[in-house]
Structures are given as structure tokens and as C-alpha cells.
Structure 1
């Protein structure tokens, strides 16, 4: 496991579905609260990653393109594969929670042949698997998890970080906006639930 950050927190619809969407967002952060530790995990940490991923899919199914039922079918080899090649992060709140309270991940987006627009002019990193547990929201955890991906993308020389957020997940969208992301105008059905839509957001890393 590779420590990424150990710092104090910075101060910083669809009817019933819209009311329940809490995703990764949070209110202003109380700087007196314990610091967030974000660490990179690898294949040997697959059990810990699986536990957080399953919790995320169960608590916020509308926030992900895959489903809890799909994830429950994965064996050890699949979980290890998902932690190989690109960075995955878990967040801890020492002294507050005994187990990880959030997660995020990244991969390099490969455009389809002939695809234009966002993916022209440099590498695009996709921010994925973003989730913060309900009890940890409002403590700056989400901002630290986003920062870990942005930092990795910057160090690898990427031109931008892109993400998808479910339309109506206003707390998550506000978090991403605070972290420098803006809407791209992209819109499409959520793969795990086509009755919901998701929108694209991007943060450019080059002037």
C-alpha cells in the first residue's frame, strides 16, 4: 500500500431518487476534525477494495455504471485484475473509523477510432469508482480522493481528467465543481439503470 496523503482537511432529479442521491459530496469541512489519509492499493489489497466497492454499490447504486449483482459474481482473480495497471485509492479517517470510508480510481481513456472533441490534444484520465460512505461525508474525504487522481494524472502528463456523474446527484456534482471540474455538455443513460442519465465533467490540466 502506498501512502498518498495524510493531511488535515481543508475548509472548503428524479423525485425520490433525487432526494436520496448523496454520492461523494458534502458540506463545508470542519478543520478541527481528524485528517484524511488516502492510500493507493494494489492486487494484494483486493479483499479490502472489494468490501468498500460492494458497500458503495449497495448504498448508492445510482452512482455507478455497474451493479451490485455483477460485482458479487467476481472472484479473487477479477478483483486482483481490477487493481492492476492503473491506480486505485482508499481513504481512511484515523481515530474515527476502523475501516476505509471512501474510494476512487483512474484509468487512461482510449478514444474510439475516429472519435473527436474531448479526446483530442493529449491523454484523458477517467476518474471512476468515486464514493464516500455516508458517515464520512462532510469531512473533506471526497476532495482528497479526487485530488489523488488529479495528482496522478498530472504526474503522468495527462491533459485532463474526465468523469461521469449521475444527473440529479447534486452533492457529488458540487464536489467536482469545487475541485475544478466543469460540465462538458455530454449526456447519456446510466449503463446500470438507463432510466437515469449521467453527465460528463472535465478538469483541464494544461493551460
Structure 2
């Protein structure tokens, strides 16, 4: 764990501008790590961002977590219980800004959402990670995730592949 302090906080409806900021930074920093693109997300209206965060906050099925250092948002992760598959939770949008990597923030965020999903009754957590993202894959493997099936394209028209992973 890092000696540099950071805090984790569940995003409240009023945090939508922080969420938008960190999500757009993530898409710029790591365009090959996400199924969406900066161009698509940047074009969304403020109301979309506000509605997305408010819906997650009030659903009881989502945990949208922000990481902060020195009061500035530096990471995020979203975990959602599956409505279609009881016992399943999906992890997505995980990202830590480059200057904050290696400080334990990614592991702390992951531990938080895994514990939340377990308390919520999830017996397995699923995610997809780009096969070229070795650091993320190693983090997930250290937390018990294993490959689960064949790779798939990151998004339409992309040559990048995503490895589905699951943690029982």
C-alpha cells in the first residue's frame, strides 16, 4: 500500500461532473482499454451524465466508485449487479490516471467493489480486459480472476481483442 494518501468514495448524484471528467480522461489516456470512445462520450449532453450517475446511485444495483488524491479525482470503477443473471456482477470502466498508478489505488478500488458485490449476493464477478493491457490483467489475476472463454473484438472495426475474465 502507498504512503501517499487517497480516498475512495461512492459517486453521489452531484458528482456527475467529476465522473464525466474522469471518464473522458480515461478514454483519452487509454482509448484501447474501453468499448466506448472519447468521441462518442464527449458528445453526450450534461443531462446524460447527470442521469447516468443519479440512476446508478439510486439503483441499489450499481457501485460507481471514484478515487481521489488531494481532492482531485484520479480513478474510477463501476460494478453492476446483473438483472438477467442472478449471482452475477459486471465490472467495467476501471481506470487510474498515469500519475497515480503504482500507489495501490487500482487494487483498493477493486477490493472495494468485490466486497460490495459479495455483500450484494454476487457469486461471480465478470469483466473484459484488452489482451494487450498486461498491467490490468495481472491486477485482475492477483485478485482471483481467470480467463473465461475466447477473446472477442474490443469494438466493431477494432483489431484489438478483449479477454473475458471471471472471479468466482
8 Å CA contact retained: 1:180, 1:203: yes
**1:109 paired to 2:78:** no
What's the TM-score, normalizing by structure 1?
0.73
- Give a deviation string over 1:73-99, Cα, whole Å, max 9, x none: 1112211222123221111124xxx41
Counterpart position of 1:150: 114
The size of the alignment, in residue pairs, is 162
Q: Which has the greater radius of gyration?
A: 1
3-state secondary structure, aligned to 2:4: coil
Q: For 1:1-207, list aligned pairs within 5 A.
A: 9=1, 31=2, 33-83=3-53, 84=55, 85=59, 86-94=62-70, 98-111=71-84, 122-191=86-155, 194-204=158-168
Which one scores higher on RCO, CA 8 angstroms, separation ≥ 6?
Answer: 1
SS of alignment partner, residue 95 of structure 2: strand
**Structure 2 gap segments, 5+ residues each:** none
Asked if the contact 1:43/1:79 (under 8 Å) is kept, the reply is: no
Q: Which ranges of 4 or more aligned residues in structure 1 deviate by more than 6 Å? A: none
Using the size of structure 2 for normalisation, the TM-score is 0.90
1:193 is displaced (CA, Å) by 5.3
Which protein is richer in helix relative to its size?
2
Match of 1:19 in 2: none
Which blocks of at least 5 consecutive residues in structure 1 are unaligned?
1-8, 10-30, 112-118
Deviations 1:73-130 (CA, angstroms, capped at 9, x unpaired): 1112211222123221111124xxx41111000112345xxxxxxx5xx421000110
In structure 1, what is the Cα distance between the partners aligned to 2:156 and 2:51?
Answer: 21
Separation of aligned partners in 2, 1:52 and 1:193: 25
**Aligned residues of 1:36 and 1:144 also touching (Cα < 8 A):** no
Change in 2 beyond 3 A, CA 1:193/1:63:
farther
Tell me the alpha carbon deviations over residues 2-42 of structure 1, each in whole angstroms, 9 at most, x when there is no partner.
xxxxxxx2xxxxxxxxxxxxxxxxxxxxx4x2233111002
